[in-house]
């Protein structure tokens, strides 16, 4: 049975081109489902019925899992059984009539322009690592790319002359995103004065490297952001995507076209981008209620 999961993950990686993080998430979810079946003892991945899957979803609910987590687990099961049908391993899909639980769309947390300025002013640009951190933060806020896209960048993906960055998003789709003068200047300083002092192997292609001289990880970057947020005295809850959310919100607040923002963020569906219009509306209402004499 574990082989079926491995075959499915291989299919998602090789034929669908899904990102490593997504593959790991699918694998983890399916293996936990398999453990649930093994504890029950009566059904396997192949013989599982719809009632068993409903029992599994109810079990997750009793465990206190969030609605979003349960929806993701069900999505993994639906994709898995669709694959098994395609491969003629099963002749019926036990998830076919099951609808995903309705998700409450939470508005992502964003920083104000002043808070972004404060955060981006924290790195000590007199040091090689400070130059690196400044370049990463400026680039992330200038382009709105995902943290995974940022850490995956190679030197050849940045064109300082044209002021664009080439990144690979979900499904390995490539897109070119423009960047501003501040990001170009920060990257230029890092590449000329910072990176050469951090790398140990001159053949290293990673744009951003850790203190060992190898590619910086998402976790490594996240520790850096949390450090500077604390240093800046920013008390808001910050996530790895906070600068991405702030990038999109600030663009829309200043009149950017929704389709253009969608393209820069790499969203396949514009409905994903529209969440940021809700943020700008809620902020306008907040400003109105605080400032209008008859609010």
Burial of 238 (0-12, 13-18, 19+ CB in 10 A): buried
| 146 is an active site residue | yes
- Of the residues 78, 218, 241, 283, only one is catalytic, namely 241
Strands across the sheet with 158-159, in order?
158-159, 164-168, 174-178
170 in active site: yes
What is d(CA 37, CA 48) in angstroms, rounded to the nearest whole number? 8
Instruction: With beta carbons less than 8 A apart as the criterion, state whether 163 and 180 touch.
Output: yes
Q: Pick the catalytic residue: 129, 146, 168, 195?
A: 146
The three state secondary structure string of 99-166 is CCCCCCCCCCCCCCHHHHHHHHCCCCCCCHHHHHHHHHHHHHHHHCCCHHHHHHCEHHHEECCCCEEE
73, 244, 245, 250: the active-site residue:
244
Beta strands in the chain (DSSP E): 158-159, 164-168, 174-178
Q: Which of 26, 81, 190, 276 is catalytic?
A: 276
User: Residue 158 pairs with which residues in a beta bridge?
Assistant: 165
Written as six digits, the tokens of 144 are 């709105």
Give the 3-state secondary structure of residue 293.
Answer: coil
| Distance separating alpha carbons of residues 196 and 201, to the nearest angstrom | 10
* Alpha carbon distances (Å) from 181 to 138, 184, 187, 212, 292: 10, 5, 10, 29, 37
267 catalytic residue (yes or no): yes
Indicate which residue of 166, 170, 215, 218 is catalytic.
Answer: 170
Residue 69 to residue 94: CA distance in whole angstroms: 20
Angle at 150 between CA 236 and CA 28, to 5 degrees: 80
- Whether the Cβ atoms of residue 147 and residue 222 lie closer than 8 Å to each other: yes
241 is catalytic: yes
Per-residue tokens: 241 = 């995507």
Residues forming the active site: 146, 170, 241, 244, 267, 276
């Amino acid at each position: 049975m574990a082989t079926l999961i491995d075959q499915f993950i291989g299919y998602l990686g090789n034929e669908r081109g899904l990102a490593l993080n997504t593959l790991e998430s699918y694998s983890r979810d399916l293996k936990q489902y398999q453990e649930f079946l093994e504890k029950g003892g009566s059904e396997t991945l192949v013989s599982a019925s719809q009632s068993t899957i409903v029992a599994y979803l109810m079990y997750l609910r009793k465990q206190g899992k969030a609605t979003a987590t349960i929806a993701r687990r069900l999505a993994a099961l639906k994709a898995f059984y669709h694959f098994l049908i395609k491969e003629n391993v099963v002749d019926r899909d036990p998830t076919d009539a099951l609808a995903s639980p309705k998700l409450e769309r939470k508005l992502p947390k964003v920083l104000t322009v002043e808070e972004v300025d404060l955060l981006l002013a924290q790195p000590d640009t007199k040091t090689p690592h400070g130059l690196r951190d400044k370049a990463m933060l400026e680039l992330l806020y200038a382009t709105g790319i995902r943290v995974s896209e940022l850490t995956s960048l190679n030197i050849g993906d940045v064109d300082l002359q044209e002021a664009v960055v080439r990144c690979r998003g979900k499904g390995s789709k490539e897109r070119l995103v423009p960047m501003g003068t501040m990001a170009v200047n920060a990257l230029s300083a890092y590449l000329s004065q910072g990176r050469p002092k951090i790398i140990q192997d001159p053949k290293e292609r990673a744009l951003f490297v850790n203190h060992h001289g190898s590619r910086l990880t998402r976790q490594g970057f996240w520790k850096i952001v949390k450090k500077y947020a604390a240093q800046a005295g920013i008390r808001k809850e910050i996530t790895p995507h906070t600068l991405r959310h702030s990038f999109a919100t600030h663009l829309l607040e200043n009149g950017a076209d929704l389709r253009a923002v969608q393209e820069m963020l790499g969203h396949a569906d514009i409905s994903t981008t529209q969440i940021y219009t809700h943020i700008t509306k809620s902020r306008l209402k907040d400003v109105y209620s605080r400032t209008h004499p008859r609010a």
